[in-house]
Structure 1
Amino acid sequence: MTSKLWPYVTPGIPDDLFDNLPGIPLSPREIRLQLLSQLRLKSDSVLWDIGAGTGTIPVEAGLLCPQGKIVAVERDEEVANLIRRNCERFEVKNVEVIEGSAPECLHDLKTAPDRVCIEGGRAISEIMQAAWSYLPASGRVVATAANLESLYTISQSFAQLRAVNIEVVQSSVNRLEMRGFSQAFAAVDPIFILSGEKLD
């Protein structure tokens, strides 16, 4: 599936093509590509994106999974509307936006996932445990950690859930930017990406 704004089958939509609001986190393109790679999506995957923020992952995943369904969970009404606007911008029709706080709202979701993406969250351990219970065998969870506390919590949760094929990636990304009259490389904030699969 493609859109007029992004007529390519390749993921990696430039950040500035998305509508955004001040203070709302946007997963940078390079981080987004790593997240999508770790999710290992199929054309008919059902993805829950918990803490969907600007909606970059739902938009990209929606384009990559034309027969699938993406459920974007976001607790803030204004941010949820931002996700809807970005889906409209890219003509993505297979994204459902749910306004609610995880993990409490997860039991109201009508479609069980085979992939779960968790981008931040104050109750990351509880969210992982709740989402895990809906996954089938070989379902995958991908979670991001911006600090050591979250990294530890996610790692511990994967251990408690007896996840298999666990991977942890933390890459260094630099972008060429204009600084006055010269060009310089600016670092993108580092982030840990953790993934694991359900055995049974």
Structure 2
Amino acid sequence: MPCQLWPYITPGIPDDLFERLPGIPLSKREIRLLLLAQLRLLPNTVLWDIGAGTGTIPIEVGLLCPRGQIFAVERDEEVANLIRHNCDRFEVKNVEVIEGSAPECLHNLKLAPDRVCIEGGHSIQEIMKAAWHYLQPSGRVVATAANLESLYAISQSFAQLQARNVEVIQSAVNRLETRGSSATFTAVNPIFILSGEKLD
């Protein structure tokens, strides 16, 4: 549902509308749009966002799916509070922040997911295996990789988990920025986005 800060029904909230902390990652708007497309959300989606960072994905999904339930998993207390603050800014009421380290904390989540978003992080294979265990049949996992090692680890995990309909996308985004008296295009760091579905 639209809010005062973002009164539109389309995704793609500008990055500068989110409160941030130094050193805490934020999924860039264009990357978020690709992630949301790969999640293939349902009106009543139950999403686990593991490694929620600034909270951009939970907030976008919360606005798009007001009947859904989103669990934002974040291990750092200060960052978890940042997610809560951003949820308040966007008047999102259907996001629950879970403080803890994945995969150990995942058993504390009250609802089994039909969508899981994993944004980077250590122990990616262990996290994917644990999340897959809880994932509903026909559910989807979408994971991001910023380097070759993560790309390989996620690909290997999907193969071991016998995921179907696996897709891999690499982003290539440039933004127009003003530098001095001229406007130039600046590349957004490329990200691999991998997605796969669980068999019925």
> TM-score scaled by structure 1?
0.99
State yes or no: 1:63 paired with 2:55: no
2:186 aligns to what? 186
Q: What secondary structure is seen at the aligned counterpart in 1 of 2:59?
A: helix
Residue type of the partner of 2:113?
A: P
- What is the alpha-carbon distance in structure 2 between the residues aligned to residue 137 and residue 78 of structure 1? 34
Q: Tell whether 2:157 aligns with 1:133.
A: no
Structure 1 runs not aligned, ≥5 long: none
CA distance in structure 2 between the partners assigned to 1:95 and 1:136 by the alignment: 19
**Paired residue type of 1:174:** N
AA aligned to 2:128 is M
SS at match of 1:133: helix
Aligned residues: 200
Instruction: Kindly report which structure 2 residues correspond to 1:69-148, keeping only aligned pairs within 5 A, or say none.
Output: 69-148=69-148
Any idea what SS the aligned residue of 2:166 has?
A: strand
- Which string of whole-angstrom CA distances, capped at 9 and with x for unpartnered residues, describes residues 15-59 of structure 1? 000000111000000000000000000110000000000000000
- Write out aligned runs for 1:38-57 (5 A): 38-57=38-57
Q: Does 1:6 find its partner at 2:6?
A: yes
Counterpart code for 1:169: I
* Consecutive unaligned residues in structure 2, runs of 5 or more: none
Runs of 4+ more than 2 Å apart: none
Structure 1 letter corresponding to 2:19: D
Deviations 1:45-81 (A, max 9, x none): 0000000000000000000111010000000000000
Read off the aligned partner of 2:181 and give its amino acid letter.
F
Match for 1:63: what amino acid? Answer: L
Q: Distance in 1 between matches of 2:115 and 2:50?
A: 11
AA in 2 matched with 1:126: E
- The CA distance in 1 between the partners of 2:42 and 2:72, in whole Å, is 17
Q: CA deviation at 1:137?
A: 1.3
Report the secondary structure of 1:9's partner residue.
Answer: coil
Quote how far apart the aligned CAs of 1:171 are: 2.0
One-letter amino acid matched to 2:121: G
1:159 maps to 159
Q: Indicate the RMSD between aligned Cα atoms, in angstroms.
A: 0.5
Separation in 2, partners of 1:125, 1:178: 40
Q: What's the CA shift for 1:118?
A: 0.1
Q: Percent identity?
A: 80
Partner of 2:176: 176
SS in 1 for 2:134: coil
Deviation at 1:103, TM superposition (A): 0.1
